[in-house]
Amino acid sequence: MNTPKILAPAGDTDSFIAALAAGADAVYCGLKIFSARMEADNFSIEELSRLTRLAHSNKVDVYVAFNSLVKDDELEKVFNILQKLCKYVDPDALIIQDLSLIPLALQAGFKKEFHLSTLGNCTSPAGLEYAETL
């Protein structure tokens, strides 16, 4: 039987810590760039690395919302950020908007879950090509 998870949003350090204290099973948050949650303070890689270690020590998953439109001229920057996420943060899932991020994240070394954002779509040729493979 699948037990539902309590997934809490965190837009800053205080709300992240509050989610852990309240017993969330998972926390989702965004980076300072490439996140649709731009009204939140969001996190740097360094901040998220520390908080993810804390969450994992409490058996709480961390999902990173990487759910904004990515333009072709931003792909190298996105790839570099994904590599840093894999190396320093090790999130349990990526919440993505465009399917083109799946092969890019896999290439960067991400080996965990992908979740399609409620904003999910295919806006790039690479996203459409990947959708054809599904």
Evaluated on CA atoms 87, 15, 27, 69, the torsion sign reads: negative
Which amino acid would we find at residue 4? P
**Phi, psi dihedral angles at 67 (to 5 degrees):** -120, 55
Per residue in 3-45, pLDDT tens? 899 999 999 999 999 999 999 999 999 998 877 666 668 899 9
Answer for the pair 85, 51: CB distance below 8 angstroms, yes or no: no
Cβ atoms of 45 and 31 closer than 8 Å = yes
Half-sphere exposure of 102 (CA within 13 A, CB side): 19
Q: What is the reported pTM?
A: 0.89
CA 65, CA 28: separation in Å to the nearest integer?
Answer: 7
Are 89 and 45 contacting, i.e. CB atoms less than 8 angstroms apart? yes
**Per-residue pLDDT tens for 52-94?**
999 999 999 999 998 777 888 888 999 999 999 999 999 999 9
The pair phi, psi for residue 79, each rounded to 5°, is: -60, -45
